């Protein structure tokens, strides 16, 4: 059994905190008066600083300390969160990530430059002490505090270091720390993983209550904290040199004794956190970190189980023993539930991917001088984690092109009667067995004539060759193709869109482009829900068997026996709507005579419906998708293969590719009549 390296745990959590910090800073740029965002950003910085120091990332802790100190002024209302400050804070966040990843250890000059810019913006805050600064409306701080600290016994098991928190208190002022030993059990009853002691702390100095509470910000639900202000003007008694320090933890030089009279009844031991002993036991963690490789291995094992279950069901069907059939049915039910559970673990909301592009749009808008708003929709749409991981780079290229080439400059938009601020919309939605991810801009739209001229110039098409607009758009995905007048730091070399096409096709997806002159362009990525296991409809065409994704199937009907075969143009009247159909026997060049009672499977391809004619429908089939070899990479009609219960292979039909192929071959303009 392997255990997670604590440093790896820190790296994972730090990346999550940095992602949250980036999102919060971007929101803060839009809503600078939202104090909740400011508090969220400060808490993220505070956690990164503390965890970094705990796990030996000293450079991270030191830099974040100065970053946090500057941001504390914003939190206390002394500095307004301007756009310039947000931009510098985003750069600081990037620098912290580089320190954590240790991608370039010789970047101290970058960190110094960022801190210098922060110092300029906040008036020297990074170079000052981390002690809290009183806000303009805060009350005068008392001369000190009597603090009572008692943690929940399980606090150590959560990775909290109480001594580090006491050290943070010492940074606020001179302290006396006295341990509470009354609850310390006998040695034989001592649990080394539980905390049995508390502390009484006398803190001397003009420190605000909020500053003390901030020290315990992240453990407030697992402790009892009481605060009582010291009366002003009390004499401070410094211990004799020979006297032992009252705090066994603190150095003798830091020990300070204060004569403390009893606080008034109204102020004595004011509780600011609920007692730990009266709280319900903490809930178990709602999430568990699991390495991605383990999920992949689990999916492989479930796939093998599904294939074995299909074999068992087939063998059970050949025997009359009712007991064997019952067991086979039970195994089929359990394997289906296990498959669904495993699939749900692998499914991830696409919103986690969408949030990454807010920073990209923010930076491109600033660098290109084009005000752009970024709108997302459908973040709750789920996709297989592997699909999402491989989708990141294509979306980066599409969004960059949309801002650089699609959205016009403010003066051109104003001349066209548009709002000076452009818009980039990133949306996701389910469509049958696919998820549609759309990148849409409200720019000038694609220039078909210009694209075609560039294609003819490069020899991609002969002048005068008849092409539809969709065929012309496909030249955008040719390697090295670009219509840019000049090469910029962002684009113009024709590198990127060909990568988009290759990646999407490798995911068994497709790309659609729609554009309207003066109104913008939409690029739609059609992606499979998963790359692992799907519910399929097993059919027979000739002597071969094939699988159709069941999520794409709408209904099945029998092909009328008297249906006349036209010149490749076949339609059915289904409840008043004309639906084109394709004969799979012809497409697959099947041998033998067709079945006298052929079936038509109506499938949805985007907003289009099309019928696929097969000889026989064999039933549902849990389909474990296996990739085709590189020798079959150009066979677009199939998205993969699967192993049936008898050990033979069956190809998985890709309805979208079949429909597109039939259209290109003149099988009927079904897009216009669906």
664 or 559: which carries more pLDDT confidence? Answer: 559
Tell me if 667 is assigned to some domain: yes
Query: For position 58, what pLDDT does the model report?
Result: 82
Confidence band for 442, pLDDT divided at 50, 70 and 90 = very high
| Whether residue 387 sits in one domain with residue 455 | yes
pLDDT at residue 462 greater than cutoff 70: yes
- Euclidean distance between CA atoms 146 and 257, whole angstroms: 12
119 or 669: which carries more pLDDT confidence? Answer: 119
Question: In terms of residue numbers, what domain contains 557?
Answer: 533-673
Last-in-domain residue among 226, 249, 278: 278
Query: For position 633, what pLDDT does the model report?
Result: 65
pTM above 0.95, yes or no: no
| Whether residue 357 sits in one domain with residue 331 | no
pLDDT tens readout for residues 626-674: 877 777 766 778 888 888 877 788 898 888 778 776 544 443 433 333 3
Q: Specify the CATH number for the domain of residue 33.
A: 1.20.120.160
Query: For position 282, what pLDDT does the model report?
Result: 42
The phi, psi pair for 611, rounded to 5°, reads -100, 140
The phi, psi pair for 673, rounded to 5°, reads -115, -5
pLDDT at residue 441 greater than cutoff 90: yes
| Whether residue 160 sits in one domain with residue 41 | no
| Whether residue 449 sits in one domain with residue 583 | no
Mean pLDDT of 150-165: 83
pLDDT tens readout for residues 506-556: 787 888 899 988 889 999 998 887 777 788 899 999 989 999 988 888 899
265 or 646: which carries more pLDDT confidence? Answer: 646
- Counted domains in the chain: 5
pLDDT at residue 566 greater than cutoff 60: no
pLDDT tens readout for residues 268-278: 444 444 433 43
Last-in-domain residue among 330, 348, 366: 348
Mean pLDDT of 563-578: 70
Return the percentage of the chain with pLDDT > 90, whole number. 12
453 or 506: which carries more pLDDT confidence? Answer: 453
Contact criterion met (CB below 8 Å) for 410 and 394: no
Confidence band for 3, pLDDT divided at 50, 70 and 90 = low
Rounded to 5 degrees, what angle do the CA atoms 470, 603, 630 make? 65
Tell me if 433 is assigned to some domain: yes
Q: Specify the CATH number for the domain of residue 306.
A: 1.10.287
Range with the lowest mean pLDDT among 98-112, 151-165, 640-654?
A: 98-112
Q: Specify the CATH number for the domain of residue 568.
A: 2.30.30.40
Q: Is 225 helix (H, G, I), strand (E, B) or coil?
A: strand
248 or 629: which carries more pLDDT confidence? Answer: 629
Q: β-strand 372-377 against 422-431: which pairing, if any?
A: parallel
Query: For position 271, what pLDDT does the model report?
Result: 46
Q: Specify the CATH number for the domain of residue 370.
A: 3.30.565.10
Nearest Cα neighbor of 173 from 141, 196, 140 is 141
pLDDT at residue 284 greater than cutoff 70: no
Query: For position 310, what pLDDT does the model report?
Result: 85
Contact criterion met (CB below 8 Å) for 202 and 258: yes
DSSP for residue 255: B
Query: For position 173, what pLDDT does the model report?
Result: 85
Contact criterion met (CB below 8 Å) for 608 and 674: yes
Tell me if 138 is assigned to some domain: no
**Alpha-carbon torsion, ordered 474, 480, 486, 488, to 10 deg:** 110
> Half-sphere exposure of 547 toward its Cβ, with a 13 Å CA cutoff?
25
Mean pLDDT of 470-483: 81
Query: For position 659, what pLDDT does the model report?
Result: 76
| Whether residue 365 sits in one domain with residue 306 | no
pLDDT tens readout for residues 299-351: 888 888 888 888 888 888 888 888 888 998 999 899 888 888 888 888 888 98
Tell me if 87 is assigned to some domain: yes
Query: For position 522, what pLDDT does the model report?
Result: 93
**b/e for 562-578, b at 16 or more Cβ within 10 A?**
eeeeeeeebbbebeeee
| Whether residue 484 sits in one domain with residue 456 | yes
- Euclidean distance between CA atoms 325 and 319, whole angstroms: 8
| Whether residue 484 sits in one domain with residue 355 | yes
| Whether residue 549 sits in one domain with residue 445 | no
pLDDT tens readout for residues 378-435: 999 888 888 888 888 899 999 998 998 889 999 999 988 899 999 999 999 987 667 8
pLDDT tens readout for residues 6-35: 677 778 788 888 888 898 899 888 888 888
DSSP for residue 402: I
| Whether residue 576 sits in one domain with residue 521 | no
pLDDT tens readout for residues 176-203: 899 988 888 888 888 888 888 899 999 8
Tell me if 479 is assigned to some domain: yes
Tell me if 132 is assigned to some domain: no
- Mean pLDDT (the chain) is 78
Query: For position 4, what pLDDT does the model report?
Result: 55
**Can you name the residues that pair with 436 across neighbouring β-strands?**
429, 526
| Whether residue 110 sits in one domain with residue 19 | yes
Last-in-domain residue among 459, 493, 528: 528
Tell me if 647 is assigned to some domain: yes
Contact criterion met (CB below 8 Å) for 516 and 445: yes
| Whether residue 542 sits in one domain with residue 424 | no
Could you write out the three-class secondary structure of 606-652?
CCEEEEEEECEEEEEEEEECECCCHHHCCCCCEEEEEECCCCCEEEE
| Whether residue 168 sits in one domain with residue 116 | no
Tell me if 285 is assigned to some domain: no
Return the percentage of the chain with pLDDT > 70, whole number. 81
Query: For position 439, what pLDDT does the model report?
Result: 94
């Amino acid at each position: 059994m392997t255990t997670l390296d604590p440093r790896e745990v820190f790296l994972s959590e730090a990346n999550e905190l940095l992602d949250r910090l980036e999102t919060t800073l971007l929101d803060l740029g839009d809503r600078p008066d939202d104090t909740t965002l400011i508090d969220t950003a400060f808490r993220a910085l505070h956690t990164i600083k503390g965890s970094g120091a705990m796990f030996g990332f000293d450079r991270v802790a030191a830099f974040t300390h100065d970053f946090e100190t500057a941001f504390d002024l914003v939190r206390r209302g002394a500095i307004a969160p301007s756009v310039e400050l947000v931009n510098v804070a985003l750069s600081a966040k990037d620098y912290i990530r580089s320190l954590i990843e240790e991608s370039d250890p010789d970047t101290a000059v970058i960190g110094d430059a960022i801190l210098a810019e922060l110092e300029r913006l906040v008036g020297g805050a990074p170079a000052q002490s981390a002690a809290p600064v009183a806000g303009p409306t805060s009350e005068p701080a008392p001369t000190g505090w009597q603090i009572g600290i008692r943690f929940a016994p399980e606090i150590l098991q959560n990775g909290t270091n109480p001594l580090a928190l006491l050290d943070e208190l010492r940074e606020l002022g001179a302290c006396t720390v006295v341990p509470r030993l009354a609850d310390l059990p006998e040695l034989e009853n001592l649990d080394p993983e539980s905390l049995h002691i508390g502390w009484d702390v006398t803190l001397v100095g003009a420190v605000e209550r909020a500053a003390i509470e901030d020290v315990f910000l992240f453990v407030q639900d697992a402790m009892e904290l009481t605060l009582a202000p010291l009366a002003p003007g009390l004499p401070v008694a410094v211990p004799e040199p020979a006297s032992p320090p009252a705090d066994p933890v603190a150095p003798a030089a830091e020990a300070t004794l204060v004569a403390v009279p009893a606080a008034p009844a109204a102020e004595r031991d004011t509780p600011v956190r609920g007692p730990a002993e009266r709280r319900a036991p903490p809930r178990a963690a709602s999430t568990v970190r699991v390495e991605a490789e383990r999920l992949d291995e689990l999916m492989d094992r479930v796939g093998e189980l599904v294939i074995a279950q299909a074999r068992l069901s087939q063998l059970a069907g050949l025997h009359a023993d009712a007991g064997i059939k019952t067991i086979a049915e039970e195994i089929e039910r359990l394997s289906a539930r296990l498959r669904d559970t495993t699939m749900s673990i692998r499914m991830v909301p696409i919103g986690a991917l969408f949030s990454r592009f807010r920073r990209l749009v923010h930076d491109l808008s600033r660098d290109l001088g084009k005000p752009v708003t970024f709108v997302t929709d459908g973040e709750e749409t789920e996709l297989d984690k592997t699909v999402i991981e491989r989708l990141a780079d294509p979306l980066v290229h599409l969004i960059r092109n949309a801002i650089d080439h699609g959205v016009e400059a403010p003066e051109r938009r104003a001349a066209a009667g548009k709002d000076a601020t452009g818009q980039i919309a990133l949306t996701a939605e389910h469509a049958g067995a696919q998820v549609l991810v759309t990148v849409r801009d409200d720019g000038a739209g694609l220039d078909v004539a210009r694209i075609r001229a560039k294609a003819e110039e490069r020899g991609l098409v002969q002048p005068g060759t008849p092409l539809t607009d969709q065929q012309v758009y496909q030249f955008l995905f040719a390697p090295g193709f670009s219509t840019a007048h000049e090469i910029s730091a962002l684009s113009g070399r024709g590198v990127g869109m060909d990568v988009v096409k290759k990646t999407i096709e490798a995911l068994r997806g497709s790309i659609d482009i729609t554009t309207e002159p003066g109104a913008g362009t939409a690029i739609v990525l059609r992606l499979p829900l998963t790359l692992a296991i799907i519910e399929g409809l097993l059919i027979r065409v000739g002597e071969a068997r094939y699988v159709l994704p069941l999520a794409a199937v709408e209904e099945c009907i029998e092909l009328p026996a008297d249906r006349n075969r036209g010149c490749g143009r076949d339609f059915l009247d289904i409840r008043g709507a004309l639906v084109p159909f394709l004969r799979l026997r012809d497409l697959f060049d099947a041998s033998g005579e067709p079945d006298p009672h052929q079936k038509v499977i109506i499938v949805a391809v985007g907003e289009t419906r099309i019928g696929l004619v097969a000889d026989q429908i064999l039933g549902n089939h849990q389909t474990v998708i296996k990739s085709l070899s590189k020798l079959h990479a150009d066979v677009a009609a199939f998205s993969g293969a699967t192993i049936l219960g008898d050990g033979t292979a069956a190809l998985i039909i890709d309805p979208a590719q079949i429909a597109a192929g039939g259209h290109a071959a003149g099988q009927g303009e079904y897009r216009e009549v669906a």
